[in-house]
Chain A
């Protein structure tokens, strides 16, 4: 068992490759924010209090596209529905903590810190709450500084798609999936999730965020109903 400080440091360190990816992605968000007419201060404040890369991207992209604040909000909010499932799956990490720690923990929960926590635990390391907070803090430093820098230096930055940066997170999540794989009992829920999201996204006009949530839930239901306790 590690002390909270060791856990915090380990989380901060282990998430560094992902933070680097987020920083590059953050520069791209800063570019977009500048196009939306956001100041460097607004960009930095948004990064720290919203702290959700994909939702920020979608919402500000809608603003740039000329949609109103309400449409932008709904689009960004819908994309974050998956976070509901993420913080729900953190219950053993958050259980019994004082409310300020719950607040801090859920605010530090992003795709990267959350997935890394689960992947690290799958390797048998007994990391917990402070590991998540450390990883989230590192992500926040990278995200806030990169998005602000992107907004400040929008005119001189290269286009992220050409650099292949947009693929960094797909690759990262593939690596994290490898870490989460615990044997054949995962196969059915995972395949069901992939087929659900693919069919909903390709065959129906459903918002991709809803397809994502539906796939995740259906896979989990299968694991719950037909699975056996490990």
Chain B
């Protein structure tokens, strides 16, 4: 059944193996790092710094429309602390900017 190894099945299986390796390696890495002190503080800060990096990258790849919508979303997030409201506001603003302005 060599026919089964099309580029598509190779990519599906390869990504599955790569993903599982990455996910498990992270678990072992986290378990091996010290539980106190600088390492622990760094690991604890990681969610915030990583998501900041992700949002920054997404905004860089966008343009003025995305920056305005991002600023509005941030305002709504600060005031409402609500995930659905922030998503709705962001999508509504980007939709309006792309269609009517």
Contact = CB atoms under 8 A, between A and B. Distances in A.
Interface string A65-77: 0001100110011
Nearest to B29: A88
A208 interface: yes
A225 B50 CA distance: 17
A63 B14 CA distance: 14
Given A87-B30, A179-B81, A197-B56, A77 B91 contact: no
A148 interface: no
Contacts of A158: none
A217 B33 CA distance: 14
B52 A69 contact: no
A154 interface: no
Given A69-B11, A72-B7, A172 B86 contact: yes
Contacts of A76: 11, 15, 18
Contacts, number: 278
Nearest to B90: A171
A147 B43 CA distance: 33
B11 A174 contact: no
A193 interface: yes
Interface residues of B, number: 68
Interface size class of A (residues with CB under 8 A): 35 or more
Contacts of A42: 8-9, 12
A186 to B, nearest CB: 6
A202 interface: yes
Interface in B55-77: 55-62, 66, 69-70, 73-74, 77
B1 to A, nearest CB: 15
Interface in A47-96: 49-52, 55-56, 59-60, 63, 68-69, 72-73, 76-77, 80-91, 94-95
Contacts of B10: 69, 73
Interface in A26-60: 36-38, 42, 45-46, 49-52, 55-56, 59-60
B55 A170 contact: yes
Contact of A190 (B18, B49, B89): B49
Contacts of B78: 178
Interface in A141-156: none
Given A73-B18, A77-B18, A91-B31, A17 B87 contact: yes
A114 B12 CA distance: 23
Interface of A: 17-18, 21, 36-38, 42, 45-46, 49-52, 55-56, 59-60, 63, 68-69, 72-73, 76-77, 80-91, 94-95, 102-103, 106-107, 109, 111, 114-116, 118, 162-165, 167-181, 186, 189-190, 192-194, 196-198, 201-202, 208, 211-213, 215-225, 227, 229
Given A59-B15, A85-B26, 17 more contacts: A37-B8, A82-B54, A83-B19, A90-B26, A102-B24, A114-B47, A170-B73, A175-B81, A177-B48, A178-B77, A189-B49, A190-B48, A194-B53, A211-B57, A212-B57, A216-B52, A223-B44
